[in-house]
């Protein structure tokens, strides 16, 4: 099953006998919008969302509180499961997640559902800007779902696992190149990258409209970094959000990958962990 869905395919699916559950996961990394006020995903949802969609709060329902494990550590599974059931998610119900267009937050929801055993979840390619159908402002209240999250083995890396994978396989750094090189670091206390990691900015996975590049192009892109189905692959970013988007891009390319959820924000919380700077992976 393709991990992404186009707006036209979603419109058809919503008219079908088995419409998907819709998750609105609008979120922004920056603490303030252009107006100077913090971005409010719930307010954005209330101003207009795809009919039937339920708002999901990334910071509170798709992550735990920030701390030594990073800015967006794994959520408490009871909290995550309750949020998914509230949204109408059941084990046998297809799910589509979307956000404001960048795709990071929707990918985080996609990854969490896949990691916890849901068999049928996709991301709206291009997010809400790609949707040309009607919007509604009334909050949706679907029937309670029955999904119970059950994590799968091998999809999650911790700090030690990420360091080992950088030596034995391929570890991709999904942040912007200047952060990888340590030239700037606007969020975390230390700039640079995990030794051995390769720079692979998430922004290169999509076209100018924010839609994923074709699978063949993505395979070629990752292939230039030594990524194949025969090599273990992991991804990290700043806090495990944009890296989920890179895991999704790899999925589109037909390549499974693990996610280092704690990412750079967890790595740099321990000053004993090594840091590499510059364009050289080491």
Question: Which of the residues are catalytic?
Answer: 237
Q: How far apart (Å, rounded) are the C-alpha atoms in residues 192 and 98?
A: 31
For 169-217, give the DSSP string: SEEEE-S-HHHHTTS--SSSSS-SB-TT-EE--GGGGB-TTSPBPPHHH
Q: How far apart (Å, rounded) are the C-alpha atoms in residues 112 and 151?
A: 9
Q: Max CA-CA distance within the chain?
A: 55
Q: Which of 278, 208, 11, 242 is nearest to 111 (CA)?
A: 242
Cβ neighbours of 92 (radius 10 Å): 11
Task: Name the region of 254 (left: φ>0; alpha: ψ -120 to 50; beta: rest).
Answer: left
For residue 185, CA distances in Å to 27, 66, 193, 242 come to 21, 18, 11, 16
Cβ pair 169, 228 in contact under 8 A: no
3-state secondary structure of 51: coil
Cβ pair 250, 229 in contact under 8 A: no
């Amino acid at each position: 099953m393709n991990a992404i869905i186009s707006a036209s395919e979603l419109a058809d699916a919503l008219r079908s006998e088995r419409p998907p559950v819709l998750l609105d996961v609008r979120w922004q990394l920056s603490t303030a919008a252009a107006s100077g006020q913090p971005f409010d995903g719930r307010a954005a949802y209330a101003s207009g969302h795809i009919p039937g969609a339920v708002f999901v709060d990334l910071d509170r329902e798709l992550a735990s509180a920030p701390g030594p494990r990073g800015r967006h550590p794994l959520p408490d599974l009871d909290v995550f499961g309750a949020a998914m059931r509230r949204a109408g998610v059941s084990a046998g119900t297809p799910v589509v997640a979307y956000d404001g267009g960048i795709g990071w937050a929707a990918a985080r929801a996609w990854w969490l559902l896949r990691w916890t055993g849901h068999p049928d979840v996709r991301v709206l390619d291009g997010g809400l800007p790609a949707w040309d159908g009607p919007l509604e402002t009334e909050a949706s209240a679907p029937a309670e779902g029955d999904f119970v999250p059950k994590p799968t083995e091998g999809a999650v890396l911790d700090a030690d696992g990420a360091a080992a994978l950088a030596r034995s396989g391929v570890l991709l750094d999904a942040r912007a190149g200047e952060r990888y090189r340590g030239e700037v670091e606007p969020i975390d206390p230390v700039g640079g990258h995990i030794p051995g990691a390769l720079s692979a900015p998430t922004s290169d996975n999509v076209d100018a409209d924010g839609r994923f590049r074709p699978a063949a192009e993505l395979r070629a892109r990752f292939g230039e970094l030594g990524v194949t189905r025969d090599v273990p692959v992991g991804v990290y970013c700043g806090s495990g959000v944009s890296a989920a988007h890179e895991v999704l891009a790899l999925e589109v390319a037909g390549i499974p990958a693990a996610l280092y959820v704690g990412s750079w924000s967890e790595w740099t919380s321990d000053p004993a962990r090594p840091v590499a700077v510059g364009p050289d992976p080491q």
